[in-house]
Structure formats: C-alpha cells, structure tokens
C-alpha cells in the first residue's frame, strides 16, 4: 500500500449516534480541526446494516461516507464479523463458539463465533459482498479493515471434524506417522482411529505437546481460511483496494508471521503503558513490537491501526499518561515504520463497556479539551511528516522472534517450569541495539537471513524443517549468528533431536555440544567469567562441551565451574556464537558491544543519544525521542534539516520531556 501522507484518524462509530445526527456534523467539524484524514467505520455495525435477516439498511452508512468524503477524510471500511446481531445467534446457534469445556456460549460480547460454521461463513460473505458492491467505487474508500482482532478458537463438532481433516493432511493420512511423531507410545496413547483425536482440553488430552502445537497451527489456519472467506467478495469486486486485519502484538494463539502473508498491509493495535511502567523498558518493548510488525510485512510500512490518545479502560488501574506522551508514542510507531497514527477511538461512547476508554473527543464533546488539543497538534506535525510516508528501514541486525517457537516453549514440561519468558529473552538481546540507535529487524525462523550481518536467536528451542540448513548456509557465507541456551532442542512435533544438541546438524556449525541444562530458581544466581569480568547467571544455563569452538567465557561456580558458557566457532566464512548461560542485562550489553565492535556495525541513526533518548533512522530521516523525565540536549553534529520546524536543526538540539524531533540527514537530497 503506497501512501503519500501519514494517516491520522481512528475508529469512528457514528452508528452509536444515529439518533443525534447533529453529533455527526460536529464530528466533521472537529475532525477537520484535529487534522484527521482517515476514519475507520463499521467495525461493529452489523445489527444496523442488517437489522433483520436479509433486510439491509445502508442509508446511514451512505450518509457517513458522503460526509467524510466532503470533509476530506478517507474511509477505512471494516467488515462487521467481529460481532453479530442477536437475531443471527437466535436463528442459527451454530454461529456461536463452543469453549474447550464443550459447552456452547450464549449470545454476547464479541469475537464469539465459530470459525468453521458454514452458516456464519456464508453470512459474512454475503454482508461483505454487499458492502463491496455498495462502497467499492466510492472515492473515499481507502482500505478494507477485515473484522477486528481475530482471536480465540472454537471446539464445536464442526471444528473437531475440520481439525481431524487438517491432521490427515498434515500426516498424509497416516495415523502411524502421527503416532510416531507425537510419540504416542508414551502412556499408551496410540490412536487407531482418527475419530479418537480431538482438540486439547483441560478435561481431556492436554499432556501431548505435539497435539497442542497441531491445534495451534490448525487454529491459525482456521483464522486464515475464515479471513480468505471474508475477503473473497472484496477481492472480486474491489481488486484495487488493499486489505488488512488489525493484530495484537505478540498474541500467540494466531501465528501472525504466517497470517501476515495473507494481508496487503500489516496493521497493529498498540497500547504501550507509558507513565504507568518503566518508560525506557516500554519504549524498547514497543520498539521491538513495531520492528516485528514492519518485518512481518516484508520490511515495508505497517499501519498503527489503534492506539489511545489518552487512557485505556482495561488495565487494573488506568493511569493518565503525561501531556505529550500520546503524541510521542504515535511518533515512535512512525519512526519504526508505521505510515499511520490511528486511535481507538474518535469519540467516547456514552454507554456500554468502553465508555471510559480514552478518545479524541471526550464526553464534553469539546474541541478545547487537553486530549483533543494534543491530538490536533500531532495532526499538524503529521502533515509535515508526509515525506516520511513509504520510507523504509533497512537493517543489518536481526533478532529472531518466532511464533512457532513461542508456542513450543509454552507447551513443553520440565527444566525451568517457573521462568521461560521467550519474549523477555528476545527483548533482552534486542535492547542493546535499540539503545544504540540500530535498526533491527525482528524476524521468524523461516525468514531469509542473507540481508543481515548479525542474527541473534535467543532461546530458539524448536527448529522447523529447513531452519538448520538456513543457519548453516548463512554462517558459511560469512554471517554472524548468536544462539543462546536451549537452542535447537526439538523438531516441529516437539521431539527432541537425538545424538546431542543443538540438533539437526548444528553441532558442527557451532562447534559445541550442550551436555546438560541447569535451572536456577528466581533470585538464585551462578557466576561466569567473560573477557576478564565476572557476571551473574540466572534461570537457565546450558553446560557446553567445546568440540572445536573457541571458549570466550566459562562458568565459575557450581560443579560445572570451568565448563564453557560462551563460545565462538569459525565456520565457513562466518562465526557461530553460543551464549549458553541465562544472563542478565549487563552481560548481554557487553557481549553485544563486543559484537558491534568486531563486526564493525554502525548504528543507522548515526546520532549518539543519552540514555532514555532514542534515535531511529527511517529512510533519509532520523527520529529523536526523549523518554526521560528531563529536558535533554542531543549533539547532532549539524547539517540536518528539522522537518517539524522546517528550518535547519541546531548542532545541539534541546528535547523537552516527551519531545520528538525528526531530522533529514545532511547527505539526503532536498
């Protein structure tokens, strides 16, 4: 999707204000005032679009489309499958979801639908077809927003049947192969009939990791096939209108890295807890997430589809972020590759579950509210950032965060059962690069590694077929690859590789064998020495044997004192590192610094910043963001153009709290 400006807007629910059309007019006035250029409509509008089965009412949406168009806003049109009208559940109970208890839900809430139900799929196709027929040619239509935050699973009989069909395909109709790959000799679980298999349940089978992995994969595929069903009429009638569906960070019940291949543009709903948690950690965590979304979409821009202009309503305590923070948070997404700052929501609803969720327009309905004024000020800035739209963020460093691995790590039993936070582990290795102004891609294990000088794969427990070969070739061809503990332990069905770890031929590449794994309870630490310094170890430590790798660090405590903890193996033209000890930030920081030096990596941002001030390069622009609690000065070295002021940026730039500057690089053509 190519944009020549940054989208600024969000979820707009005029259907909640259908009885007060004067509010619609006021919305138009206020949207202009706030610099809003895109409105997402119709997300939960089904009961108004089809109040009775087969009786459609589009008059209100026609009016909304026309008003927005005349007012200068593009429309992001949602399909309404995220919530359905009560009549549908009453007439066709099969559209409702069956939980893992086996009990069918009653009507209510949202996202409460069966993913397989032919009736529901047909109803969704039909309403989507009508939307496409009616609005496909409307000049305001910019993008399809399919459903809303797909999530969950259904365990009804239709879904069980579909799951068995999925398994038959996966295991080539061979139950023996399934039994072998699931290791069903254990506890006498060999199946003799496909009908004996059903979804994992707390009152049924929940101790077979391979079953759980297959169910996860099936659920992902069900969402994708539900999505493909939704978009069939959109593709047919509006082939030029791109399609997205909004995703939720690292929600792991759907493999987003797979799903991303089915959308035209990846979009993400971000709600960073700034000012309610450690801001530096939050900045790194959301930087990581944005980088994952950009990478998922193949490196092109993604869309920030939802964010809050003030508070959310779903945290235990919903602290107001300080003035200026929401704008800074939106600009952070842009710095990492978003071509939009979209909000949930334009106007606070008067009643219902989300009436205290932040919105651009509060219940007072006024344009002089603090939140409104800040949004409008951001709207002005985003206009000036139009040249940034579409620009890319090529990276030399990648961190592997892999959805399949996330699930595998969740399902196995043993070793350290108390602590196995895969995401935190990845973040720990990402942060030293984030802090130093590097652009980092966050990729799955099936991604192409060749663009990178350095790839770090923390806690990559599961190797899918092909991964080991890709790592081997990458290192052979000159890449630097860092693995940590519990690397290459299990295959796609969670069977442990035999003959020594890491498996699948990687011992040769890394020049080590992981002989044993020690697990330390929270608060208990061991010690290791690396380049003359002693560091604490924690949580999970692999005890290595070098089979030829150079030993860079050793354990210095416990019975395995003297065993390798950090190694490097020259292999082909590259280097394969193993950092086998569960480490703390201090070691990770120093180790990454050494890698940066050794590989002569240069931060793309090119401007050094004090701690808590982050620099990010995007195309020919550099974003500087102050997440500290003080005013700071940053030495730019001069020659930059300040895109927000339009003038030259001073050599020493002052950034207030929450301040963001966007500079054009000196060597970039005007």
Based on the shown chain and the rule CB under 6 A, indicate whether residue 402 belongs to the binding site for ligand GAL. Answer: no
Based on the shown chain and the rule CB under 6 A, indicate whether residue 15 belongs to the binding site for ligand GAL. Answer: no
The least distance separating ligand GAL from the CB of residue 33, rounded to whole angstroms, comes to 24
The string over 368-392, giving b where at least 16 C-beta atoms fall within 10 Å of a residue's C-beta and e elsewhere, is ebebbebbbebbebbeebebbbbee
Based on the shown chain and the rule CB under 6 A, indicate whether residue 12 belongs to the binding site for ligand GAL. Answer: no
For residues 226 and 455, give the distance between their C-alpha atoms in angstroms, rounded to a whole number.
34
Based on the shown chain and the rule CB under 6 A, indicate whether residue 403 belongs to the binding site for ligand GAL. Answer: no
Count CB-CB contacts under 10 A for residue 528: 25
The least distance separating ligand GAL from the CB of residue 2, rounded to whole angstroms, comes to 26
Give the nearer residue to ligand GAL in terms of CB position, either 206 or 349: 349
Based on the shown chain and the rule CB under 6 A, indicate whether residue 276 belongs to the binding site for ligand GAL. Answer: no
Q: Give me the long-range contacts of 197-203 (CB less than 8 A, separation at least 24).
A: 197/163, 197/164, 197/167, 198/155, 198/160, 198/163, 199/100, 199/153, 199/155, 199/159, 199/160, 199/163, 200/100, 201/100, 201/101, 201/102, 201/155, 202/100, 203/101
Instruction: Mark residues 103-132: x for contact with ligand GAL by CB under 6 A, - for none.
Output: ------------------------------
With a CB cutoff of 8 Å and minimum separation 6, the contacts of 379 are 8, 34, 35, 36
Concatenate the DSSP letters of all residues of 57-124 into one string: --HHHHHHHHHHHHHT-EEEEEP-TTS--HHHHHH-GGGB-B-TTSPBP-S-SSS-B-SS-HHHHHHH
Give the nearer residue to ligand GAL in terms of CB position, either 160 or 285: 285
Based on the shown chain and the rule CB under 6 A, indicate whether residue 348 belongs to the binding site for ligand GAL. Answer: no
**Three-class secondary structure assignment of 234-249:** HHHHCCCCCEECEECC
Q: What share of the chain is helix, strand, coil (3-state, %, to 5)?
A: 35, 20, 45
For residues 566 and 555, give the distance between their C-alpha atoms in angstroms, rounded to a whole number.
9
The least distance separating ligand GAL from the CB of residue 246, rounded to whole angstroms, comes to 6
The least distance separating ligand GAL from the CB of residue 440, rounded to whole angstroms, comes to 26
Token match 């108390």: residue?
418
For residues 497 and 522, give the distance between their C-alpha atoms in angstroms, rounded to a whole number.
28
Which residue of 5, 325, 357, 664 would you call a contact of ligand GAL, by CB under 6 A?
357
Give the nearer residue to ligand GAL in terms of CB position, either 50 or 149: 149
Q: Which of residues 130-149 bind ligand GAL (CB under 6 A)?
A: 148-149
Give the nearer residue to ligand GAL in terms of CB position, either 8 or 348: 348
Give the nearer residue to ligand GAL in terms of CB position, either 352 or 499: 352
Give the nearer residue to ligand GAL in terms of CB position, either 113 or 470: 113
The least distance separating ligand GAL from the CB of residue 248, rounded to whole angstroms, comes to 6
Based on the shown chain and the rule CB under 6 A, indicate whether residue 269 belongs to the binding site for ligand GAL. Answer: yes
Based on the shown chain and the rule CB under 6 A, indicate whether residue 344 belongs to the binding site for ligand GAL. Answer: yes
Based on the shown chain and the rule CB under 6 A, indicate whether residue 295 belongs to the binding site for ligand GAL. Answer: no
Based on the shown chain and the rule CB under 6 A, indicate whether residue 441 belongs to the binding site for ligand GAL. Answer: no
Catalytic residues: 149, 306
Token match 């919105």: residue?
359
Based on the shown chain and the rule CB under 6 A, indicate whether residue 504 belongs to the binding site for ligand GAL. Answer: no
Based on the shown chain and the rule CB under 6 A, indicate whether residue 230 belongs to the binding site for ligand GAL. Answer: no
Pairing of strands 243-244, 141-145: parallel
Based on the shown chain and the rule CB under 6 A, indicate whether residue 435 belongs to the binding site for ligand GAL. Answer: no
- The site that binds ligand GAL (CB under 6 A) totals a number of residues, namely 9
State residue 305 phi and psi, 5-degree precision: -85, -30
Give the nearer residue to ligand GAL in terms of CB position, either 344 or 497: 344
The least distance separating ligand GAL from the CB of residue 148, rounded to whole angstroms, comes to 5
The closest alpha carbon to 223, from 263, 196, 250, belongs to 263
Based on the shown chain and the rule CB under 6 A, indicate whether residue 343 belongs to the binding site for ligand GAL. Answer: no
The least distance separating ligand GAL from the CB of residue 269, rounded to whole angstroms, comes to 5
Based on the shown chain and the rule CB under 6 A, indicate whether residue 491 belongs to the binding site for ligand GAL. Answer: no
Q: Which residues pair with 345 in a beta bridge?
A: none
Based on the shown chain and the rule CB under 6 A, indicate whether residue 268 belongs to the binding site for ligand GAL. Answer: no
Based on the shown chain and the rule CB under 6 A, indicate whether residue 306 belongs to the binding site for ligand GAL. Answer: yes
**What 3-state DSSP class applies to 288?**
helix
**What 3-state DSSP class applies to 402?**
coil
Give the nearer residue to ligand GAL in terms of CB position, either 252 or 584: 252
Q: Are 382 and 6 in contact (CB under 8 A)?
A: yes
Based on the shown chain and the rule CB under 6 A, indicate whether residue 97 belongs to the binding site for ligand GAL. Answer: no
The least distance separating ligand GAL from the CB of residue 533, rounded to whole angstroms, comes to 44
What residue ranges bind ligand GAL (CB under 6 A)? 148-149, 269, 271, 306, 312, 344, 354, 357
């Amino acid at each position: 999707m190519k944009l020549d400006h940054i989208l600024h807007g969000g979820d707009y629910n005029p259907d909640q204000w259908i009885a007060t059309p004067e509010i619609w007019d006021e919305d138009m006035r206020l949207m202009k005032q706030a610099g809003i250029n895109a409105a997402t409509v119709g997300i939960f509008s089904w009961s108004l679009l089809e109040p009775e089965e087969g009786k459609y009412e589009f008059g209100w949406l026609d009016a909304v489309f026309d008003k927005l168009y005349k007012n200068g806003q593009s429309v992001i049109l949602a399909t309404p499958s995220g919530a359905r009208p009560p009549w549908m559940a009453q007439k066709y109970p099969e559209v409702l979801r069956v939980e893992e208890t086996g009990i069918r839900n009653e009507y209510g809430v949202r996202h409460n639908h069966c993913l397989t139900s032919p009736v529901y799929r047909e109803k969704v196709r039909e309403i989507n077809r009508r939307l496409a027929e009616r609005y496909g040619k409307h000049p305001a239509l910019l993008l399809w927003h399919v459903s809303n935050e797909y999530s969950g699973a259904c365990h009804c009989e239709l879904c069980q049947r579909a799951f068995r069909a999925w398994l038959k395909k996966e295991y080539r109709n061979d139950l023996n192969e399934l039994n072998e790959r699931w290791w069903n000799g254990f506890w006498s679980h060999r199946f003799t009939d496909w009908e004996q298999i059903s979804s994992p349940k707390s009152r049924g089978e929940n101790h077979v990791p391979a079953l759980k992995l297959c169910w996860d994969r099936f659920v992902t595929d069900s969402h994708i096939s539900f999505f493909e069903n939704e978009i069939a009429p959109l593709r047919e009638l509006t082939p030029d209108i791109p399609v997205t569906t909004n995703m939720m960070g690292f929600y792991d019940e759907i493999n987003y890295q797979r799903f991303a291949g089915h959308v035209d543009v990846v979009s993400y709903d971000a709600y960073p807890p700034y000012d309610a948690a450690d801001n530096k950690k939050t900045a790194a965590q959301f930087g990581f997430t944005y980088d994952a979304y950009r990478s998922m979409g193949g490196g092109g821009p993604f869309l920030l589809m939802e964010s809050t202009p003030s508070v959310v309503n779903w945290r235990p305590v919903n602290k107001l972020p300080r003035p200026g923070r929401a704008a800074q948070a939106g600009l952070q997404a842009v710095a990492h590759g978003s071509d939009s700052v979209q909000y949930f929501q334009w106007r606070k609803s008067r009643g219902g579950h989300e009436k205290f969720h932040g919105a651009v327009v509060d219940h007072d309905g006024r344009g002089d509210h603090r939140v409104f004024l800040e949004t409008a000020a951001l709207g002005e800035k985003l206009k000036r950032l139009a040249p940034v739209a579409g620009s890319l963020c090529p990276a030399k460093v990648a961190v592997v965060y892999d959805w399949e691995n996330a699930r595998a790590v969740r399902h196995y039993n043993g070793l350290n059962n108390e602590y196995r936070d895969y995401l935190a582990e990845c973040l720990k290795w990402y942060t030293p690069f984030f802090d130093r102004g590097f652009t980092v891609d966050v990729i799955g294990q099936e991604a192409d590694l060749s663009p990178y000088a350095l790839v770090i794969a923390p806690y990559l427990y599961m190797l899918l077929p092909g991964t080991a070969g890709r790592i081997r070739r990458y290192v052979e061809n000159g890449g630097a690859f860092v693995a940590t503990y519990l690397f290459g332990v299990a295959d796609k069905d969670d069977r442990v590789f035999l003959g020594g770890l890491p498996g699948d031929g990687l011992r040769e590449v890394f020049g080590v064998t992981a002989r044993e794994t020690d697990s330390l309870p929270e608060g208990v630490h061991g010690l290791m020495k690396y380049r003359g310094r002693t560091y604490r170890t924690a949580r999970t430590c692999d005890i290595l044997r070098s089979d030829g790798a150079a030993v860079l660090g050793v354990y210095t405590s416990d019975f395995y004192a003297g065993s390798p903890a950090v190694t490097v193996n020259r292999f082909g033209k590259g280097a394969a590192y193993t950092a086998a000890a569960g480490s703390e930030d201090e070691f990770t920081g120093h180790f990454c610094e050494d890698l940066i030096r050794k590989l002569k990596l240069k931060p793309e941002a090119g401007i050094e910043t004090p701690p808590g001030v982050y620099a990010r390069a995007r195309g020919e622009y550099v974003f500087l963001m102050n997440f500290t609690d003080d005013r700071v000065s940053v030495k730019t070295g001069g020659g930059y153009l300040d895109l927000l002021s339009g003038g030259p940026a001073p050599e020493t730039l002052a950034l207030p709290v929450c301040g963001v500057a966007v500079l054009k690089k000196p060597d970039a053509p005007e």
